[in-house]
Amino acid sequence: MKKRAGLFTSIVLVAFSYIMLSYTTEKNNENTDLTDTISIDIPNDVMAIIDNKCYGCHNNESKSSKSKGKLNFDKFKDGYSKSKTISKLGKISKDLHKNEMPPEKFLVKYPDKTLTADESKLIIDWAEGQRKTLIGE
Nearer to ligand HEC, 13 or 34 (CB): 34
Does position 70 interact with ligand HEC (CB under 6 A)? The reply is: yes
Nearer to ligand HEC, 6 or 103 (CB): 103
CA 137 to chain centre: 19
Contacts of 66 (CB under 8 A, 6+ apart): none
Nearer to ligand HEC, 38 or 86 (CB): 86
Contact with ligand HEC (CB under 6 A): which of 37, 46, 106, 128?
A: 106
CA 74 to chain centre: 7
Residues in the chain: 137
Does position 53 interact with ligand HEC (CB under 6 A)? The reply is: yes
Nearer to ligand HEC, 82 or 102 (CB): 102
Rounded to a whole number of angstroms, the minimum distance from the CB of residue 124 to ligand HEC is 9
Query: Residue 102 region, left (φ>0) first, then alpha (ψ -120 to 50), else beta?
Result: beta
Would the CA dihedral through 80, 94, 127, 112 be positive or negative?
negative
Give how many residues touch ligand HEC by CB under 6 A: 21
Q: CB burial class (10 A; 0-12, 13-18, 19+) of residue 137?
A: exposed
Does position 56 interact with ligand HEC (CB under 6 A)? The reply is: yes
* x-or-dash string of contact with ligand HEC, 114-133, rule CB under 6 A: -x-------x----------
Does position 90 interact with ligand HEC (CB under 6 A)? The reply is: no
Contact predicate 74/81, CB 8 Å:
no
